[in-house]
A and B are shown apart, each in its own frame.
Chain A
Amino acid sequence: MKTTEFKSELLRERYLRIDHPGGLSVYVFPKKMSGTYALLSTAYGSIDNAFCIHGEHVEVPDGIAHFLEHKLFENEDGSDSFGRFSALGADANAYTSYQRTAYLFSCTGNFEAALEELITFVTHPYFTEASVKKEQGIIAEEIRMYEDHPWDRAQRNLLCAMYHANPVRKNICGSYASIQRITPELLYRCHEVFYHPSNLTLVVCGDVTPEQVMAVVERALPPSTPAPLPERILPQEPPTVAKREIRCFMQVAKPLFYIGVKDPVIPATPAERLRRDAALTLLDEILFSRSGPFYNELFEEGLITPAFYGGYSSTDRFAYHCISGEADDPHLVLERFWSYLARMQREGIDPMTFERCRRALYADEICAYDSTEEIANRLISFVQDGSEMFSYPALLQSITKEELEEYLRTVFREEYVSLSAVYPLEQKNEEVMTNA
């Protein structure tokens, strides 16, 4: 089996990549901690709802990746894998994001048995009509729970406003209606297509050796040969936003806002994407951090509260900047956003600010290596995008002020910007009264 070692002098850490002949990629990150964290992930998330396999075009109901995540824990003998992990003293969980579904556990003993359980249950689906029916009730409550979260709702609305067709605009859990269309057959189909070992990655971080991990993989992974991956069908997405503004009314004390700036540039190679990500992350830190003028001016004037965030996030299929907070007047925040950017474009970036923000990001980067959970989840997101995690701190150091000033002039354009706001319900009533 081919093994590759990655080392970082700066971080004083190393990890190994081992390519299993069955197609599974395995990453082992040795770390002297009490707990070991393992994560088995498929590059299959909520946005993969249309694909092409063996020449056939397939479309599946929204929310199916997440539904599958819930259902895989049930086994043919009627047992539940949660129970099996518990018996081993391991704490298991799973999550579905736009781009992946990950199954994980942490433990302080019985590592081999828990890893065997993880690989086994993820690769052995078992679904029945009755169990699918039962899950629809649970997931409907999950959807309801998120519906009552104003921040979550504002963010989802923002994605709906920014994107015309990209499925990132849809709820990861699906809708009350779409989950009713999910059947055992569809679940089996998606499992067969996306849970082939060639589409799976195993990451283990903790006080373990690669030999320990590979011995379990050999034993537990069903025999397979590398298979072609389905071709994901992503609809054409125009560079500009679908809607400039979206709003809703909910139980909130003060309006919430999300300003989104769509980034239509998704570089073709992982290395270029990573560099763009590092540069724009640093730029947003400079523009929107709590030590910067935007937050502080608006805060001192009483226009926003401390519940403020600004940052950039990118993947190989969508990318955007996002500024969120609480404000009595979200439109005023948007106005100030534009005047602030105009001023920054005129004045350029102050060298002290540049250095200060780079230091803050550098420290975040180092501190991320204090937690096995954080290491494993970072590693999987770098791996999935095809880039190498240890290259990031040096990349951050290599970014220049001039490079950022160039981005500052080009990335914030009116046609890329949407405003999503959640207003208190009372304001809806006022609006109705005014209209009447």
Chain B
Amino acid sequence: MIPTVHSPMDGVTLRVCRTEKFKSNMLSVSAVLPIQKDSVYKTSLLFSVLRRGSCRYPTLADLNARLDYLYGTEIAIHNFYRGDSQIVGFSAELLGPEYLPQGASLLRDVLEVLCQILFHPLLDGNGNLTEKYVESEKKLQCDAIRALKNNPRAYATARCRELIYQDEPCGLSPNGREEEVMAVTPAELTQHWQALLQGLSLDCFYVGNQEPAELTRALQDTLGRETFGDARQPRGPLCRALASPKETPLRAEEELPVSQGHLMMGFRTNATLTDPGFSACVVMNELLGVSPISKLFVNVREKLSLCYSCGSSYNFYKGTVLIHCGLDPVNRDRAEAEILSQLAALQRGDFTAEELAAAKSSLENSYRQLTDSPGAMESFYYGRALLGSTATIDSTRADFAKVTREDVIAAACGLRADTVYFLKGTLEEGGDEDEDDGV
């Protein structure tokens, strides 16, 4: 199920994973934009405003009712980073034609709604995006910025990322700061939308049972009728050279009135997806903090019972490893020391052949299962395509299998401490007062 690549028209790339495996089909339409301080938050705001209403479907209720009528098709905004690029657009999940009473595909109808959203938003008499929607979405974006603290772990992760990437584009939050969001005017956002359309290239990714030729025709008949991309520039590189770790690791601490503490430890590796050390880094990270027999799970949680969750994740678009541990704040020093000692164990080669084999078979298992999910297929193949990699799921699995003990040790030795961040929970144990606080 390796995607075939098509170009239905200028500025549009279509990738198709043709498969009969699923009852629903997936289509995503994305733009790839550089992350820039003065525009990243506007782009996030813009897509939320576009999703509010169009000429034909002026309100959110009209849009959602149309989608429900199309058998509950969901059109969700996606907005995430890959390296130092922002990938923003819409994803739709639509029921396959064989499960529809008339047996006709929903694809064209869904593309029609997508075109309405992207190219025909509701405008006022001056040709600006509707003030009501802009103002409402500005408030919601500010709410979202503040709501990050509702989830202490997500907040700690975001704060630690900001510190690790403080001198890099991806250190900017996609939602920006409240003051800059509130300062955006409808006219300014309209200009941003028009500039985006002028420079626009679109990447479409499809997983489902329709033929590429049918998809191409459907795209030509819908997207093909819209005007965009007159001032298109070639796309810049997605990953820059790896940044070096800070000379002395940055240490930061914050307090939040919650009961659990969150320790985050960020490291630089010397490998991204396209570097030779990539596979070894993935296997090392699996052994360190992903599988249930990982060094962190077995020792920090199971042996010392310091926490419920302790694990690591490898951002292979940026070449960093982030370790997280959610714990009672009094255990912070013990946990940090244990995490470092487990890392040192990997660096010394203090792991068994069985542990290494288990880490590799765990990866083998999860990568083989990628083909069971349209979203996972997209994430794998589109992510690689963005970096110009032609690796397939099978070739990636084969590369993991070849990783040796020495490779893992080298990858572990390549980790350099960059940032240690601690979110200290300041509430005392047992917030049971609510049960008695009824009115």
Contacts and interface: CB of A to CB of B under 8 A. Distances in A.
Do A and B associate with each other? yes
A425 interface: yes
Contact of B326 (A108, A141, A251): A141
B136 A149 contact: no
Interface in B71-86: 71-73
B328 A141 contact: yes
Contacts of A86: 291-293, 358-359, 361-362
Interface in B139-181: 139-140, 143, 146-147, 149-152
A433 interface: no
B293 A83 contact: yes
B23 interface: yes
B21 interface: yes
B252 interface: no
Interface in B55-103: 59-61, 64-65, 67-69, 71-73, 93, 95, 99
Contact of B308 (A138, A299, A326, A356): A138
Given A35-B369, A86-B292, A141 B150 contact: no
Nearest to B151: A149
Interface residues of A, number: 80
B131 to A, nearest CB: 14
Given A251-B256, A254-B147, A369-B23, A364 B369 contact: no
B292 A296 contact: no
A141 B260 contact: yes
B389 interface: no
Interface string A235-272: 00000000111111011111000000000000000000
Given A86-B291, A248-B433, A34 B369 contact: yes
A11 B24 CA distance: 12
B60 A363 contact: no
Interface stretch (B37-45, B209-217, B423-431): B423-431
A137 B305 contact: yes
Interface string B241-265: 0000000000000001111100000
B327 interface: yes
Given A34-B371, A302-B136, A147 B431 contact: yes
Contact of A370 (B23, B69, B258): B23
Contact of B71 (A33, A87, A359): A359
A145 B425 contact: no
A10 B258 CA distance: 49
A253 B143 contact: yes
Contacts of A161: 438
Contacts of B65: 291, 356
A95 B346 CA distance: 31
A366 B23 contact: yes
B24 A367 contact: yes
Nearest to B133: A300
Contacts of B275: none
A26 interface: no
A363 B24 CA distance: 9
Interface residues of B, number: 72
A247 B437 contact: yes
B366 A145 contact: no
A296 B65 CA distance: 11
A20 interface: no
B435 interface: yes
Given A134-B305, A138-B305, A359-B71, A144 B361 contact: no
Contacts of A49: none
B392 interface: no
B362 A91 contact: yes
B307 interface: yes
B301 interface: yes
A370 B152 contact: no
Contacts of A223: none
B333 interface: no
A138 B256 CA distance: 22
Contact of A299 (B23, B60, B372): B60
B7 interface: no
12 contacts: A33-B21, A35-B372, A87-B361, A138-B305, A138-B307, A139-B308, A141-B309, A245-B438, A248-B433, A250-B431, A305-B140, A363-B95
| Top 7 A-B residue pairs of the complex, sorted by shortest distance between their CB atoms | A89-B361, A248-B434, A360-B72, A253-B146, A137-B305, A82-B292, A363-B72
Interface of A: 10-11, 32-35, 80, 82-83, 85-92, 106-109, 134-135, 137-142, 144-145, 147-151, 153, 157, 160-161, 175-176, 243-248, 250-254, 289-293, 296, 299-300, 302, 305-306, 326, 356-357, 359-364, 366-367, 369-372, 425
Given A137-B305, A244-B438, 13 more contacts: A80-B298, A88-B361, A91-B362, A109-B364, A138-B301, A243-B438, A247-B434, A251-B257, A254-B143, A290-B60, A363-B73, A369-B23, A370-B24
